[in-house]
Structure 1
Amino acid sequence: MGRGLGANLQSAAVTQTPSIQESRPAAPGAAPASIAHPKGIKSYVRRAGRTTSGQAKALEDLGPRYVLDYAPAPLDAAAAFGRSAPLVLEIGFGMGEATAHIAGVRPGDDFLCCEVHEPGVGALLKRIGEQGLSNIRILQHDAVEVLEHMLAPASLDGVHIFFPDPWHKKRHNKRRLIQPPLVARLAGRLKPGGYIHCATDWQPYAEQMLQVLSAEPLLANTAQGYATQPWYRPLTKFENRGMRLGHGVWDLVFTRR
């Protein structure tokens, strides 16, 4: 699992883990002035990490094909993926375990994945090569800026945010990624019928997610409260470990009205 999302890479420091990977998702970071997020919040936090030789080789060999350049201009998804298909944005994928699994079981969908942590990007590229995946593209950049500048309204069929940093201490709760301004922006980027799928293993954050998502007028809950884990989201080693220790996991799935 990971805790986070975004872009700012320093080979041994930035991690964006909100995904469901073996590393822990990172959380919020600084948003553009046009997004009413608290000042200084980004979609990721800095974490230590070292790029292995296998990850470095994947970055060199596969990066030119699967890592897109950030540009403050609308993304041409059909050109980026070489086809027209439903597009899902993933914010923070950690080490890419869940991302690769989901892309493998949903070959008809394309996945645009934001992560700033270089070892995580290398790890996902390695999985792409090993599993022969063609429906993933990576942006090694802050997902908040990607959302703001590269994705047009009604351009997404789905959004995945798995295990973002919960910022456990109350005084740090304001740094959490799932807040009303970002959720409103995500909802506006979804096509009618598109979905937002969030997951967390921290109950207080799950409660906040449920409150924030439920308050967004463009979104409708698919469940009475928390959702059953969707078939495509796998359990990771980290998650299995937590479940053995009695930790819970909460999934939330909302659709665009």
Structure 2
Amino acid sequence: MTLNHAPATYKLRRGRITPGQRLALGTLADRFAVGDGDGPLDLSTLFGRDAPVVLEIGFGMGITTLAMAEADPGTDLIAADVHTPGVGALLRGLHERGLDNVRVLNGDGAELLAQRIPSGSLAGIRVYFPDPWPKARHHKRRLVDAEFAALVADRLAPGGRLHCATDWEHYAQQMVAVLTAEPGLELEHGGPVERPEWRPVTKYEARGMARGHAVADIFAVRP
């Protein structure tokens, strides 16, 4: 199954790359990066062990990614983002904390999911605060739609969970609707829930809460 989203489901953000981030991109990518290629990834070879693997699509500056990877060393994580300064920051953080359970893709995580992740191979998928595209004419750009839900159902292993979070009420409603309609997934908790304690608050999330936005965490599992 491929994902045919068009146009892109994210907005490229401009940001200055610091000297430390640039150094990390130049010196640490070989150690932590997901290698180039077109075929399916061998996840056990990628991490050098057999362990549950989670894909995170969009990690910003990587602060939440680092915290969750450090708290759960028995789980391997593929973290993907198109924001190059954030990629550099995450690489630097992995090196400084001595973490080896994260591999980083400087690119579109949805494309990676569609093109290189084998069916039934993931223990989890995380989509935290994807671009909300709040204008009605842009809703078609949103990542979490029926096609994405079907792809997630195929890529998750039995018992694997999709975890989404958003601070846009209409997007939360859309997520619930498409996940409920997908026969390969079961919506958990009957709908959105409050942030679980083990998920750190992201910078984007804190900004939304300061504006009065309600945050919704949404889970779906492959039976």
Q: TM-score, normalised by structure 2?
A: 0.94
SS of residue in 1 equivalent to 2:195: coil
Q: State the Cα distance separating 1:238 from its structure 2 match.
A: 3.8
Structure 2 gap ranges (5+): none
Q: For residue 137 of structure 1, what is the amino acid of its counterpart?
A: R
Q: Deviations over 1:125-166 (max 9, x none)?
A: 111122221110011222232112211110100000000000
Structure 1 gap ranges (5+): 1-31
1:81 and 2:47 correspond: yes
Q: TM-score, normalised by structure 1?
A: 0.82
SS of residue in 2 equivalent to 1:45: coil
Equivalent in 235, 239, 242 of residue 208 of structure 2: 242
C-alpha separation in 2, matches of 1:147 and 1:236: 23
C-alpha separation in 1, matches of 2:13 and 2:180: 31
Q: State the Cα distance separating 1:252 from its structure 2 match.
A: 0.1
Partner of 2:13: 47
SS of residue in 2 equivalent to 1:240: helix
SS of residue in 1 equivalent to 2:219: strand
Equivalent in 156, 178, 191 of residue 225 of structure 1: 191
Aligned residue pairs: how many? 223
Q: Deviations over 1:212-256 (max 9, x none)?
A: 111111111220211232332101344334334432110001110
SS of residue in 2 equivalent to 1:127: helix
SS of residue in 2 equivalent to 1:192: strand
1:176 and 2:142 correspond: yes
C-alpha separation in 2, matches of 1:66 and 1:113: 10
C-alpha separation in 1, matches of 2:202 and 2:129: 11
Identical amino acids, percent of aligned pairs:
47
SS of residue in 1 equivalent to 2:56: strand
Q: Deviations over 1:33-73 (max 9, x none)?
A: x4353xx2334322211111111111122111001223110
Runs ≥4 residues deviating over 4 A: none
Equivalent in 5, 9, 24 of residue 58 of structure 1: 24
